[in-house]
Structures are given as structure tokens and as C-alpha cells.
Amino acid sequence: MDNDLIKDKSKYLDLKNIKNISEYSKLETAGQIIRDGGLVLFPTETVYGLGANGLDPEAVKKIYATKGRSSDNPLILHISDIEMLGKIAKDISDIEFKLMNAFWPGPFTIILNKTNLVPSVVAGGLDTVGVRMPSNEIARNLIKFSDVPIAAPSANISGRPSGTNVEDIYQELGDKVDYIIDGGSCNIGLESTVVRVIDGIPHILRPGKITANEIKEIAGNVIIDHHILGKIEPGTKVMSPGMKYKHYAPNTKCVLVYNEDNSILQDKIKDIIGNYFEEGKKTLLMCLSNNYEYFKDMYQDRLEIFNMGNSLDEMSQRIFTDLRKADSYNVDLIIIQGVSTDGLGLAIMNRLLRACNYNLIS
């Protein structure tokens, strides 16, 4: 982060280049702010979080107000150790413990029955709460210094792409929080996998870095919620954060294009660009490296194009930053290349479908 962009240096902590463990002691100030009911912007391995004391209803209400987030959209509680889990969750089954042991600390959230200690506002009025133990050392040390579970949705205004570095989100949230911790760019770039165990079977409610196959290896079975690649009807109660409302979207109209046959995919993209070209309109194509090379010299005066990466891992790490950049091209339409829903592709397609308001051409 360019320090010249920070208006109040006293509320900014740069931990991008930690050289030894003693530097985590600098998080004591942020921990006190959390305990006192303030808002802290902090990094995790997935995306940046907008954090508050998860046991303080008034502090949690600040999260909803700051993001413009609907109160029926539940939050995740972030913990630093198993002892903290026992204060907020109850009736934990053997399979739930097995999943936590396999994937914690890491990008894995599990929906559990909550204790009375967890405010209703955190759970969106449900009897359950999502819990995660992040692997990012800054995040986990912040929770330790706070000495409370931290409620933290992604750091962004609701509906906008999640924040994966301070530069992307400072203008949106910088003057709305009490403290900013800069840990550089997030390693993964997609929010955590969210799972609820129902009748002994893990159900994936939100896909992430931890894939269905990895969960199946631990639990023996897994079910992918049908809402992951489809809309949720108005009025439906959701168990997981990030299922219900429009999210990740640029302001410009977007269309998602995918076909497993890449030559057919290219033809579909050319048809869309051609139609807009004939109308004198301009498009932006966001695609993987192979199709970037194919399209980069076409429609030069009417097509903007940028490369989303060579692999699914690279695409996931950059996806939200890329979606934020898209509006800067000032085009009439954004065309985004989709990917197979195998493995990590399921999480990527989940985010892209919602960014495009389910406007898919296949």
C-alpha cells in the first residue's frame, strides 16, 4: 500500500514483511480495538475481512451498516484455537470434528449449532453459526490478542468484488474502519469453502479452495448444494454467508461464456463481440492465457482484453482484483470466460455466475 494514500497513519499497520514472530505483538492495538467494539480491516489467506467482536451485538451491527449488508445474511466467526470453539458451538459430531481436524487451520468454514453466547445478529436469526480457524498468522494472532471470536465477512461494500489487498478496498472502507492491517495480497483469493453436515453427510454450501473431492476423502461422501450454480428464490433462508445476494459484480453489464470445447467457446465469444462491433459498441474480454493469445489482435478498435492467468489457482488469486479493474475500461459489455466446474473450478464458476447475475452463454 502506498502510505501517501493513508489519511491517518495512526490507524494503519504494515505487516507485509514480518521478519520474526515478535512483530506480531504490534497487533495488540488492533486487538484492543476489537474488544472495545471497533472495526478492523485485516488479511486472511482467503480474502480480507471486516472484523468486529463476534460476541458484541452492537459491534456486529456496525459490520452490517458499514458494508450495506442485509441482516439475514449470516456472518462467520473466526477463532484462533479449539478452546474458543467450545464457547460458541455445541453438540459437535464426530464427523464435524473429523472435518475440522483435516482442514483447520485453513480456508474451511463449518456450520455448527451455536451456543447462547453467540448473538442472533451474527447468525442471521438462525440457530447455527459458521466457524473458521484461518491459517494466516496475522489473522490468528489478531484473534489471540482480541481474545474473542472475530465476526468478519469479506472486506467490501456488499455486491462489490471481495477485497484481496488493501489497495483494492481502501477507497471503499478506509475511512469507515477504526484500524487497517496490511498483510499484502491474499494467497488464495477466494472465500472459504462452507460446509454443513446434515444427517452425517457434508453439504457444500459455498465452494472454495477446499474441494468436494478433498472433503469426500475425509468424510466418505459429500453433497454439493444445488444453489451453488443457481439462483436462490427471494425469501429463502440461507445457512451460509454469500449464498443469497448479488455479489462480486462490476458496475458494467457482464456475460459469462463457457463450453468444454474451446473452439466452440471461441466462436461464441466472437459472435458476441461481432454483434457489439456492428453496433459501434466496445467490449472487454477477460480470459485465460490461451484465449488471450487467440483474441488479442482481433477487433483492435472495439475490443479490450486482459489475461486472467494460466491456471485455476492463478485465476482464483486474481479474480476479485480483475473484476474490480474491469469497470476502468469503460466498455459497454464485459465478456468473461468460464471454466470447468471440476475441483477449484466450481468455486470460480460460483463467483463468476453471481458477478454476471447468472447471465451464462454455453
Judge whether 249 lies within some domain. no
165: its cell numbers: 489487498
Non-local CB neighbours of 192 within 8 Å, separated by 6+ positions: 46, 76, 107, 108, 109, 132, 206, 208, 209, 210
Domain boundary among 229, 263, 294: 229
Segments forming the whole domain that contains residue 269: 254-361
Claim to verify: residue 71 and residue 191 sit in the same structural domain: yes
Q: In terms of domains, do 209 and 279 share one?
A: no
Task: Give the gyration radius of the chain's Cα atoms.
Answer: 21
Is pLDDT above 70 for 234? no
Average confidence (pLDDT) over 10-28: 94
pTM (2 d.p.): 0.93
Residue with cell 464457547: 87
My answer on whether 66 and 206 are in the same domain is yes
Q: Are residues 266 and 213 in the same domain?
A: no
Domain stop point among 229, 246, 263: 229
Read off the pLDDT of each residue in 149-169 and give the average, rounded to a whole number: 94
User: Do 255 and 336 form a contact (C-beta atoms < 8 A)?
Assistant: yes
Alpha helices, DSSP H only, in 126-211? 137-146, 166-173
- Considering the domain architecture, whether residues 189 and 293 belong to the same structural domain is answered as no
Do 212 and 76 lie in a common domain?
A: yes
Q: Are residues 185 and 261 in the same domain?
A: no
Alpha-carbon distance 161 to 326, whole Å?
Answer: 11
Q: What is the CATH number of the domain that holds 333?
A: 3.40.50.11030
pLDDT in tens, 31-75: 999 999 999 999 999 999 999 999 999 999 999 999 999 988 999
Q: Give 294-303 pLDDT, tens digit per residue.
A: 999 888 778 9
Q: How many domains does the chain have?
A: 2
> Residue 282 carries which side chain, given as an amino acid letter?
K
Strands in the chain per DSSP E: 12-14, 40-42, 49-53, 76-78, 89-90, 108-114, 128-132, 150-151, 179-182, 193-198, 201-206, 223-224, 254-257, 283-287, 303-307, 333-337, 360-361
pLDDT in tens, 121-154: 999 999 999 999 999 999 999 999 999 999 999 9
Q: Could you give the C-alpha distances from 73 to 209, 257, 272, in angstroms and in order?
A: 22, 29, 35
If asked whether residues 82 and 161 sit together in one domain, one would say yes
> Which pLDDT belongs to residue 299?
80
Per the domain annotation, does 60 fall within a domain?
yes
Confidence of residue 30 (pLDDT cuts 50, 70, 90): very high
Give CA separation, 281 vs 36, 270, 296, 327, in Å.
52, 14, 17, 15
Torsion of CA 84, 86, 88, 91, to 10 degrees: 160
Render pLDDT for 166-207 as a digit per residue (tens, 0 to 9).
999 998 999 999 999 999 999 999 999 999 999 999 999 999
Number of Cβ within 10 Å of residue 240's Cβ equals 24
Dist. CA 305–CA 298, nearest whole Å: 10
The span from the CA of 177 to the CA of 298, in Å, is 45
CATH number at residue 26: 3.90.870.10
User: Are 89 and 156 in the same domain?
Assistant: yes
Q: Is residue 236 part of a domain?
A: no
Q: CA nearest 114: which of 202, 218, 239?
A: 239
> Does 220 share its domain with 339?
no
